[in-house]
Amino acid sequence: MRYLIAFVVMALFTTSTYSQQVEIGAFGGGANFIGDVGKTNYILPNTPVGGLIAKWNRSDRHALRLTLLYAEISADDAKSSDTRRQQRGYSFDNTIAEASLGIEFNFWEFDLTNPLPQSTPYLYTGITYFRADHVWLKNGRASNLVNEGTNWDFAIPMVMGYKEAVTEHIIGAFEIGARYTLTDNLDGSWPEEYLGRREPSAEFGNRNTNDWYVFTGITFTFTFGRKPCYCF
């Protein structure tokens, strides 16, 4: 994690801070969970996600990006194609509020001072800090999962997208972003994170993998500020 933080900080200061272009807008779409409960599809949005996004374009190839997103996540063993999960019958609902800061890289030059159309695929990564509920089998494996306590933790976002300039001041994008979390208890499979002690009667699933969640959606951002001078 410390190497990722150092990389982000170094990228921010590799170019001058002369006139830059800022984007502010909104993100909307769907979320899905990947863990020890419910379906195992990597991309299958089933709950809503929305929030705000801001970018500071440091060059025509990369930008500092901040997102503030809120999502519901839900998983149900009854909807899984895994027979063992169907027989087990666990389900849960949770909410995620995340703040993410990092670097967005354009595959091609993206400079709105040049003639339209302008478009490019892009990648984003950085550091995400999020809040969710802890979940656990409070009444044993014969019961269902209960939300109890607050889970603050980090995640690593891995986002792929495609953006296009709609006008000189409006940019639309579609993206799919997986978050690898540093917790295994969004679904209640490892309650030691919440209880502070082992509770074998309430543990289940694969202890060797942490939880993931995926946001799929579209963004629209509005640009403003002086025309950028991308000087190195």
pLDDT digit string, tens, across residues 131-190: 999 999 999 888 899 999 999 999 999 999 999 999 889 999 999 999 999 999 999 999
**Domain assignment present for 229:** no
Q: What is the mean pLDDT of the chain?
A: 90
Q: pTM here?
A: 0.88
**Domain assignment present for 230:** no
Cα–Cα distance measured from residue 86 to residue 184, given in angstroms and rounded to the nearest whole number? 21
Tokens of 61: 């190839």
**Total domain count, the chain:** 1
**Domain assignment present for 231:** no
CB crowding 3-13: b at 16 or more within 10 Å, else e: eeeeebeebee
pLDDT digit string, tens, across residues 15-31: 444 335 899 999 999 99
Q: Are 112 and 223 in contact (CB under 8 A)?
A: yes
pLDDT at 224: 83
Beta strand 212-224 with 170-181 is antiparallel
**Domain assignment present for 114:** yes
**Domain assignment present for 129:** yes
User: Percent of the chain having pLDDT more than 70?
Assistant: 88
Tell me: pLDDT of 49 over 90.
yes
Tell me: pLDDT of 82 over 80.
yes
Smallest CA-to-CA distance from 113 within 162, 62, 59 is with 59
pLDDT at 209: 92
Segments forming the whole domain that contains residue 69: 2-224
**Domain assignment present for 216:** yes
Calculate mean pLDDT across residues 46-64.
Answer: 96
Calculate mean pLDDT across residues 67-85.
Answer: 96
Backbone φ, ψ for residue 20 (5° rounding):
-120, 170
What residue type is assigned to position 152 of the chain? Answer: W
Tell me: pLDDT of 14 over 60.
no
Q: Residue 164 maps to which CATH number?
A: 2.40.160.20
**Domain assignment present for 120:** yes
**Domain assignment present for 69:** yes
